[in-house]
Amino acid sequence: MGSRTRFRPLWWGAVAVFSTIAAEATDGNELIGIGAIQKGTAGAGVAAPQDATWALMNPASIIALDKRLDISLEYIDLFRGSEPDGLGLVVNPRAFHLTDRGGILVPSFGMIWPLEHGTLGFGLFGVQGNNADYDRPRTTLGLSRNNDRRSSLQVAKFPIAYAYQFDNGWTVGASILGVFTEFRTDSLTLQLRPTEGNYEKDYALGVGLQLGLYKEWERFRFGASWTSRQAVQQYEKYEDAIKWNLDLPEKWQVGVGWKVTPKLELVADYKWQGWSEINQFSKKTIEGGLGWIDQDIYKFGAIYQHNDRWTFRAGISTGNAPVTEEFVFANALSPAIAEDHFTLGFSHRINDRHEVHFAWTHTFAIEKSDNGRGDLFSILGRGTKVEYDEDAYTVQYTYKFGKSPQ
């Protein structure tokens, strides 16, 4: 309890910024990109830094950026649906088709600060989470108190990144990655009792490490980023429902950029997320987990600079979801099943100091059904369906400091 008291000012500072966030996410439970520029290429571009959000994507790449401030706001219009099925003594026979649709706001900001030697980058970014709020319980045992129908995990990260370039042109970067999380649920515990947390908000802090590599040539660029597992505190209100800490996974992202012409650059990334090492996500439901698997995600984007005022972007992202058909019933309240995304975006330079950006992200609708081949909960919930689709709209403002007028 003492450690939480010491961090309380930081907690409530983050709560004040992110009190409106319920960020559903789609690289597992992570947004495919942050801000309008990143979203414009579907999160591809670990080798093509363009704004302050690259302090989180690849800390080495920020060496290529000038002093700037980026502020973004994303509006997510998403639909989650579930149709519980299976043994009537366990699965609520009156649940029918559960739906949850709503609009969500996700703010972020970041700053790049070149130094005499190297470059500093930092920010506070809403990055991931999962959320469901149905009006009826998915289980029969939840009927008596109208619970087992809501769950929410929200994550914000605040990196402090530094990049240093050697004489041979290679740049290395590193960042300390702070994590702030908010969690609440009214799900049943493994003892088939309602959690004592009863959907009250609980908060936890975490920390991790990030390393990056970056190099550019005349027409090609290379970038790579590794993020360690991020250790997160236990949620005191939900010790009966969460067996292990909700740590965040190790991940890799590596990619290239190719200047096809002076105006057109193509980017391609591979991203891996290691959920299998996080017990609370990877263990079977009967053991207290969610049955998630590792992800392989492929991202491709195009950046076209039409003139010195307008830049246009497009991207696709595709990969396997962490939730498989063996654990759909267990994930009805954490429906991380999205796989394919398409994005479009643009930037407009107003003058040397000010720019505005926009991106539209379409997550293709997907449905999964529990095949009953997982653990006991999968057998009891065989046939349960989960649905997901999303459209997101992101606006961003950039202020470039440049040199002061004479």
Beta bridge partners of 325: none
Say which residue the tokens 């040199």 belong to: 403
Whole-number average pLDDT of the chain: 90
Q: Which two tokens stand for residue 90?
A: 């366990």
d(CA 214, CA 121): 15
Q: How far apart are the first and last CA of the chain?
A: 55
Looking at residue 130, its pLDDT comes to 80
**33-47, 76-90, 336-350: least confident range:** 76-90
Residue-wise pLDDT for 376-395, tens only, equals 889 999 999 999 999 999 99
Run of H or E including 298: strand 295-305
Read off the pLDDT of residues 309-336 as tens digits, 9 standing for 90 and up: 999 999 999 999 999 999 999 898 888 8
Asked whether residue 20 carries a pLDDT value surpassing 50, the answer given is: no
pLDDT classification of 126: cutoffs 50, 70, 90: very high
In the structure, what pLDDT confidence band is assigned to residue 11 with cuts at 50, 70 and 90? Answer: very low
The residues with which 125 forms a beta bridge, in sequence order, are 108, 157
Going along the chain from its start, the domains and CATH numbers come out as: 2-400 (2.40.160.60)
HSE of 173, CA atoms in CB hemisphere, 13 A:
36
178-233 residue pLDDT tens: 999 999 999 988 888 889 999 999 999 999 999 999 999 999 999 999 999 999 99
Least confident piece of the model among 8-12, 104-108, 143-147, 353-357: 8-12
Q: Which of 61, 65, 53 is nearest to 212 (CA)?
A: 61
DSSP three-state, residue 380: helix
Q: Which residue, chain included where needed, has tokens 């539209």? A: 360
pLDDT band at 95, cuts 50/70/90?
A: confident
Q: How far is 14 from 7, CA to CA, in rounded Å?
A: 11
- Kindly report, residue by residue over 269-320, the tens digit of the pLDDT: 999 999 999 999 999 988 989 999 999 999 999 999 999 999 999 999 999 9
With cut-offs at 50, 70 and 90, classify the pLDDT of residue 101: confident
Give the HSE-up count for residue 273: Cα atoms under 13 Å, Cβ half-sphere: 25
